A and B are shown apart, each in its own frame.
Chain A
């Protein structure tokens, strides 16, 4: 019934993170992973294993679940959106790394990861990892622009959502998005 205080609610983690505790982000990932796998399991059961599971959709669903439990505070929602994008990125990269490592003769895979097959295509995985690298460089050049990119690209957020999450104007979002695209295109295009 009335359970004691939980230490691992997403809300708390987000608060901790915005208070400067960077370990909170990892905890948030863990939380998302756990949710993810429990949802994946359920889906698998329901679909009798026949269909392919779209992991990106699952991750989104997971975030939706966490989102639903967020207190209705603007600050909190902002942090959540921005963090969710960061977490999305991290998760995608993790999967991409795993796919890439399988190619290299991959040594280790968590059992439950067999439930999910996100980026089975190794070429895409490699490209994604490359993009992550480029983006890391870009972060040093222009932090805000790279954040905008993160929200739009990994978080799949609209211009308005991104503007809300980062507390900047939609026009700025559009400009930043363009600048970031240009940077990526320059490094990875052709």
Chain B
């Protein structure tokens, strides 16, 4: 009986666990049904439960004495805190809970318990002084701070004017306010914020919930400065809240400097106002932050550019609003105003909340606004700053922004490696980045639009300045010249790159002969010389690098291997394939001995395989590709740029061996990886499309081949300068497929464009021009325009015969076409000797 009773009591006590205390009486009346001893037992159990909890919590508090915030304890309703009686809970945030409370004199107030504040005298002192400042704020649109104190349990609290209001955005929607009315209301917010700023109070947590509108349509800002009270005075004291995702500020409205935990100022509020205005006008927040990871939040807030409000408005369908109409209204001035308030860099924002209000006034009056769209100069500067640790990376960024040179990521990676190798000191790098930034600052912003001509001008100017202004700072100057040379080289301006790199090499040589920087600069120069076709010079430069590296590091060092790799490429350029292959074999040998061969072994295997493929050693090439794939898979797994490159190369071997299925399979894999690891317009993806086209062509599926060539062409048009030779290659592919499909008219346009590109790139007697002419000629034959075709084919044949020889497939084809043409036009056939 007694045990039954106990069990029953326990059961009932459990049932009460999640039920508010004031409802217990009623429930117990019902459950116990007059059994007073049962009722007592239940209540006793409850009391014991509470004691147990208190005991444990007290113990926990002792251990965690400085991280009280992790222990939450709710104030019970009807409880008295000093002169205030708690009526009900209004809301709960990370480290504060707000209650509606009533003063002994009957006045209703908002009581906010601040659980995040420390107990020690230091914190109390700070709390009290902050509280005094806040209490001095007296503005009709700011909720007053009435009082503050510390509860018996030691939790600080503040008493504020109780505002019965609705968040600004909600209210505006409810009242169906139009654009003008919304802006007017928002201006009031700005002015109130400005008032507080003049009194040295920053809100720090502006968001709709803190910007209320009363029944009368009046703005009331609440919680002014409260966020600061809640701020931990020591770094790290507050982190636990962070981990559990309860953070003082609201990430969507927090400025980058807030998210990063650096200096907060009045313009941090300007940023939040910008977000608020964004939400108010576009109907959605600039960022939708769902993650709890601070790292991700930081990334979104600090690095992502928000969409223009006018664009955001389009994607948001709001009941009763015409989103197209809204988007039109926002586009232009309002976009600029909002985004100006929301600059990531504090100093670029409106200097005050008032100036934001004023610019809105300008807008309403149809006067010119002061906000401006970002300039290219700004974007470049930003990019460079982001990358300033490695100056070489900055140089790449610089090029990328100006002319859209693709493959930036990969190159930047390489550049960083180079920079590390060259032991650029951080300080030097900084100096260099500064210099670049200055360069853009001083350029006329109106001229700094996209387009390589301007970029070229800036670069020329930079080249001049580096030579004059950095005189005497030889190390920085040499480094800078090296960078400029590299940029010129990447722009294809080899003539300009050459003196820059030569001077860079000389500079380093004058500081210290045979220093690592000298060697690295020399290697860069060798690369350029190679590209310029100065193969003798390239070879001797590289040879010097090789000898120095052998001396520095010994014959089996990775540095030696990478130099040998360059030398091999030069030999290949000179047509000395056997020597090139031998060198690469040496390279691979060194790499294989390296306990951590890393990416290099993979790259070298790949290069050797490509050479062997080209010299017809298909099987050997295949084995090397296999090995490369294994190495890459082991280091990085399947999804990596190298894997894509290697599969693409390997597919060529399959194709050569007639294994079209495997070729296709590897290309598709390469494409899939490429699409994951590169941006959508990366040149490599263009290469893969092209190669897919070739496989389909081999298989006789011309329609599909056309499609693939076309894909490649479209991509290359987006990513390459219009005179790039790869563009011509794609045009050839597309044109040839049109011919195969009997659409010669379409083909002609393509082939003519290809020919034009090549004529800009090569000497008139280059075999590649000849080949292009032959294709166009064939097309014209199909179109029946024999008279136009004849001179093209004749010239092409002459060139091919002298450059490629009579056995070359292109020569033979051209000859056949010419023969056919001449028969057709009734002329004498050319006799083949």
Contact = CB atoms under 8 A, between A and B. Distances in A.
Q: Which 9 A-B pairs have the closest CB atoms?
A: A156-B70, A185-B52, A181-B52, A54-B66, A68-B295, A60-B240, A181-B56, A182-B52, A61-B239
B417 A127 contact: no
Interface string A145-166: 0000000010011100100000
Interface stretch (A27-35, A106-114, A170-178): A170-178
A63 B295 CA distance: 13
Of A2, A39, A171, which is in contact with the most chain B CB atoms at under 10 Å from its CB?
Answer: A2
B53 interface: yes
A124 B293 contact: no
B48 interface: yes
Interface stretch (B57-65, B440-448, B608-616, B620-628): B57-65
Contacts of A174: 17-18
Specify the main secondary structure of chain B where it touches its partner. Answer: helix
A174 B13 CA distance: 13
Nearest to A84: B243
B244 interface: yes
Interface in A23-71: 39, 43, 51, 54, 56-58, 60-61, 63-64, 67-70
24 contacts: A1-B413, A4-B596, A56-B64, A57-B237, A60-B236, A60-B239, A60-B240, A60-B243, A64-B242, A64-B243, A68-B294, A68-B295, A72-B293, A92-B63, A124-B62, A124-B63, A128-B63, A131-B59, A153-B60, A156-B67, A184-B55, A185-B55, A185-B56, A186-B52
Contacts of B65: 54
Contact of A4 (B14, B246, B413, B598): B598
Contacts of B598: 4
B56 A1 contact: no
B17 A178 contact: yes
Interface of A: 1-2, 4-5, 39, 43, 51, 54, 56-58, 60-61, 63-64, 67-70, 72, 92, 119, 124, 127-128, 131, 153, 156-158, 161, 171, 174-175, 177-178, 180-182, 184-186, 188-189
A182 B72 CA distance: 19
Contact of B49 (A43, A61, A178): A178
Interface size band for B: 35 or more
B291 A182 contact: no
B51 A185 contact: yes
A109 B246 CA distance: 37
A182 B48 CA distance: 8
B635 interface: yes
A1 B416 contact: yes
A119 B235 CA distance: 21
B237 A181 contact: no
B532 interface: no
Contacts of A39: 236
B792 to A, nearest CB: 50
A157 B237 contact: no
Given A1-B413, A57-B66, A158-B72, A67 B56 contact: no
Contacts of B52: 178, 181-182, 184-186, 189
A54 B67 CA distance: 9
A99 to B, nearest CB: 12
Given A184-B56, A185-B52, A119 B635 contact: no
